[in-house]
């Protein structure tokens, strides 16, 4: 397993941290892992390694096999559809509420999208084969994969509708809010080039749209690859998709992910703790 991870690390430009034989529940950032009872989590933890990823790190390329599986604890990963003419557009954004390549439980298959880190973070990584074996043994793991799959499907449907129906400024505000949910302050480490790729538009369109957001005070500053945002004003610009997606996925996670029982002496981990800790939060 260590060799497999090292190979992936080299090929993906992802830095490994320490091998973890045990994940202490209080230190779990990933919401799917946090929702697992200790006995089910223990099926995965001996096989985990922790990796860190920097912005622009490619975790999976379109056409590559979905292997290994990443459980992000921090950061944000964008799923990009690559078009034959070289254009790209984001289909979904994933943070610690998700698991990259979890659909590998359906069997070995190539990825239809490229997964790129947009916000630096860390993740627990396990080979797809080990994850499939644990998935087959654990009803709780099957449940979190199922809930996550439905959340991803819902996000895909909303983004498809949003791309067809809503203006660029509302869409850009939506992506910025989704990124903001995954950083600790109001400074987003995102370039205009990255925004152009997320939105599937030209850089000139991003520049024009950014000036509109600046005029209304939603993005007070834009310098050195960082955007400073005013969340309240940005929410007024964003299309309805952000709030609709968040509300629906929040409810799904709260109602369908069982709260894990704490081990003796450990603090109980709530799956739903409030708005700031819900589906898109970091
Ligand atoms: Zn929209």
| Choice between 222 and 242, residue whose per-residue pLDDT is larger | 242
Q: Flag whether the pTM goes above 0.85.
A: no
Query: How far is the centre of ligand 1, averaged over its atoms, from the C-alpha of 168 (Å)?
Result: 9
Three-state DSSP class for 220? Answer: coil
Please list the residue range(s) of the chain that carry CATH number 2.60.120.10. 2-161+242-277
CATH 3.40.50.300 describes domain 2-161+242-277: no
Q: At CA 201, angle to CA 241 and CA 208, rounded to 5?
A: 90
pLDDT higher than threshold 80 for residue 84: yes
Query: What is d(CA 175, CA 197) in angstroms, rounded to the nearest whole number?
Result: 11
Query: What is d(CA 98, CA 93) in angstroms, rounded to the nearest whole number?
Result: 9
Query: How far is the centre of ligand 1, averaged over its atoms, from the C-alpha of 236 (Å)?
Result: 12
Query: How far is the centre of ligand 1, averaged over its atoms, from the C-alpha of 167 (Å)?
Result: 8
User: From 3.40.50.720, 3.40.50.300, 1.10.10.10, 3.30.420.40, which CATH number describes the 167-238 domain?
Assistant: 1.10.10.10
pLDDT higher than threshold 90 for residue 21: no
Q: Residue-wise over 66-82: b if at least 16 C-beta within 10 A, else e?
A: bbbbbbbbbbbbbbbeb
Q: 33-42, 146-155, 255-264: which has the minimum mean pLDDT?
A: 255-264
Residues 145, 150, 156, 158, CA torsion sign: negative
Please list the residue range(s) of the chain that carry CATH number 1.10.10.10. 167-238
Query: How far is the centre of ligand 1, averaged over its atoms, from the C-alpha of 86 (Å)?
Result: 24
Query: How far is the centre of ligand 1, averaged over its atoms, from the C-alpha of 5 (Å)?
Result: 38
Say if residues 13 and 57 touch (Cβ distance below 8 Å): yes
């Amino acid at each position: 397993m260590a060799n497999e991870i090292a190979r992936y690390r080299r090929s993906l430009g992802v830095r490994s941290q320490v091998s973890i034989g045990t994940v202490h529940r209080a230190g779990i950032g990933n919401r799917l892992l946090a929702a697992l009872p200790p006995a089910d989590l223990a099926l995965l933890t001996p096989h985990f390694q922790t990796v860190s990823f920097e912005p622009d790190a490619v975790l999976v390329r379109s056409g590559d096999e979905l292997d290994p599986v990443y459980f992000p604890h921090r950061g944000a990963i964008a799923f990009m559809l690559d078009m034959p003419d070289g254009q790209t557009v984001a289909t979904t954004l994933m943070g610690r509420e998700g698991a990259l390549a979890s659909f590998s439980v359906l069997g070995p298959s190539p990825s239809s999208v490229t997964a790129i880190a947009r916000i630096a973070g860390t993740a627990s990584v396990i080979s797809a084969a080990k994850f499939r074996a644990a998935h087959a043994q654990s009803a709780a793991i099957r449940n979190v994969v199922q809930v996550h799959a439905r959340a991803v499907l819902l996000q895909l449907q909303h983004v498809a509708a949003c791309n067809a129906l809503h203006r660029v400024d509302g869409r850009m505000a939506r992506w910025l809010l989704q990124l903001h949910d995954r950083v600790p302050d109001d400074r987003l480490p995102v370039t205009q080039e990255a925004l152009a790729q997320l939105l599937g538009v030209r850089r000139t369109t991003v520049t024009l749209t950014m000036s509109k957001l600046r005029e209304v005070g939603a993005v007070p500053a834009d310098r050195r690859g960082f955007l400073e945002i005013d969340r309240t004003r940005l929410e007024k610009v964003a299309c309805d998709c952000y709030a609709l997606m968040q509300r629906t996925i929040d409810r799904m996670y709260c109602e369908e992910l069982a709260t894990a029982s704490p081990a003796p002496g450990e603090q109980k981990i709530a799956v739903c703790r409030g708005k700031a800790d819900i589906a898109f939060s970091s």
